[in-house]
Structure 1
């Protein structure tokens, strides 16, 4: 319950500021997304060794405290920048803010799940991670609601302070969890991990499981980013104002979160407990395959649902994200309980930050290249279908990687390995 509550506040903090970021991409269209994602990738390259050094040097409690406090301080620092937006320029501030929000999302959320993989064993993770993720989905619903409620009263800049407050509450809960875990396990889990600051990058080449997860991240994120680019182009062509674009992205987030909540309350937990984490990775890839086939047939068309006209591309983006948050994420994080602590923090962080944003740059650049040579949405969706099929195969390989600890191994097995 404490973990779910902490994740609620983490995602509430993020989703308070996310609509501002997303409407910027809708304003410029997919043609500018490679620039945005390249800036984010550069930030990841700079920050990844810094994070590795922190993991090697600081105990877990200090790592949580310093990392989350840094992002809280950044949120506060952005307040005067947004108040001076007219002097700074909307494009310049928008680019910086897009990059920073993306870094915030990746590092804060990735560190949270690394911590969860550290305090739960494999069997516990398959039972509890869907419910912890459900707490996050509640925050994903609450955040946009807070933004809609307060933005007209406070304006944009003060919302950053509200986001900082939510992240501060999450930090206090995580620190409490860390203390309890150390007390329960006689202190060993709270010690600094040590090792090289580049260990996470090195493990991509030496640990088969991490290679599979990196490939799966590229393939799975490729579909998500492709859908994001489709919607960005749709918003640029069909929606003239920032209010219309923000409303579209808010509706997409609402459908995404609804799908995620339904999955976490029903199918995901049953699937992870009864069938194992492998199927929690394979099934979303198969769903993505079906979605890409639908896009091949319908393209940028619309359909009616409960009296509303829904763009097919927007629904594709919502379903893809819903399965990613509601099933893929709990399943992949459950697998990380079966690797050494250094891999949970350093290797996992590299996959979920550096590799993720590398995939964003490749996919968005590829969309622009395809468009330049005359390949339309149907052709891109055909490529996406092939990628989704390959992702399902890689997911099965990842769940059966030979370097994973036995599925019934708990924290004692990890401790016995000396890591």
Structure 2
């Protein structure tokens, strides 16, 4: 199965490469994209912190990364307290991955593109933050393995099937320089900073004596802020 999917990916990449060469030749003949971007190695970092739009995208990525890290640590607590056997934990995570991958494939093939085409980017982009508000509230009220499974599957599916494709669409509004420079900063520095901040925050709140329930309640307003930011980004027209 893995070999078959990899071969399909290779064929798709070859086809895209040929189409890209045709498009590039047409663009060059029309006088577009025939100049190098130029600039310095730190330009992407500067632009990321100069543009309100890029800062908004950075905030979206940062909040996603922070909440994912919080959920990761909560996962360790809930799963370790439920399953004592390593084989049971492995089978449990494998089943979650199966559900996530199957549902993501279904939505990406049949729904995501149509949603963005007919109802716009706003509902698609804001779906993950909205699910996150509900998810952490549910974990705060009932931190059980059943609730955790529903939260983990719904969040990961919402990310892979909806948030990630719509998030990439946000970059199509940018100039070539920002797409190739600032995007790299956001996808690496900002994303990994969120991981670290989430780790420090969770450890700090735990040191203060907050339980899984208390941390979940504190994460809810963070997700509300994230939801508001997604609405702002979707409706933003001036990206300078």
Same fold (TM over 0.5): yes
Instruction: Give the match for residue 87 of structure 2.
Output: 243
Q: What corresponds to 2:205 in structure 1? A: 370
Residue 56 of structure 2 corresponds to 212
TM-score w.r.t. the length of structure 2 is 0.85
Find 2:101's aligned residue among 257, 264, 267: 257
Which residue in the other structure is 2:142 paired with? 298
- What is residue 346 of structure 1 aligned with on the other side? 181
User: Secondary structure at the residue paired with 2:172?
Assistant: helix
C-alpha distance 179-190 of structure 1, shift in aligned 2 (>3 A): farther
Query: Normalising by the residue count of structure 1, what TM-score does the alignment of the two structures yield?
Result: 0.51
**Cα gap change, 1:215 to 1:177, in 2 (>3 Å):** same
Tell me how far 1:191 sits from its aligned partner: 6.7
In structure 1, runs of 5+ residues without a counterpart are: 1-141, 147-161, 303-310, 406-419
How far, CA to CA, are the matches of 2:204 and 2:175 in structure 1?
Answer: 41
- The alpha carbon displacement at 1:379 in A equals 1.2
Aligned partners of 2:103, 2:12: CA distance in 1, in Å? 27
Residue 393 of structure 1 pairs with residue 232 of structure 2? no
Cα offsets for 1:252-271 (capped at 9, x unmatched): 21122233234334542332
| Pair 1:335-2:170 in alignment | yes
Once the two structures are superposed, the pairs formed by residues 187-198 of structure 1 within 5 Å of their partners are 187=28, 189=33, 192-198=36-42
The answer to whether the 8 Å contact 1:182/1:189 transfers is: no
Equivalent-residue separation in structure 2 for 1:330 and 1:362 (angstroms): 25
How far apart, CA to CA, are the structure 1 residues paired with 2:19 and 2:38? Answer: 22
Mean CA deviation greater in 332-341 or 233-242: 233-242
Query: How far is 1:385 from its partner?
Result: 1.1
Write the deviation string for residues 327-380 of structure 1: whole angstroms up to 9, x where unpaired: 001111112112112222221121122111110111122112222222111111
Q: CA deviation at 1:173?
A: 4.9
Counterparts of 1:170-189 in structure 2, within 5 Å, are: 170=9, 173-174=12-13, 177-186=16-25, 187=28, 189=33
**Number of aligned positions between the proteins:** 234
Give the RMSD, CA atoms, in angstroms: 2.7
Rounded Cα–Cα distance in structure 2 between residues aligned with 1:328 and 1:190: 32
Aligned partner of 1:234 in structure 2 is 78
- The DSSP-based 3-state class of the residue aligned with 1:185 is helix
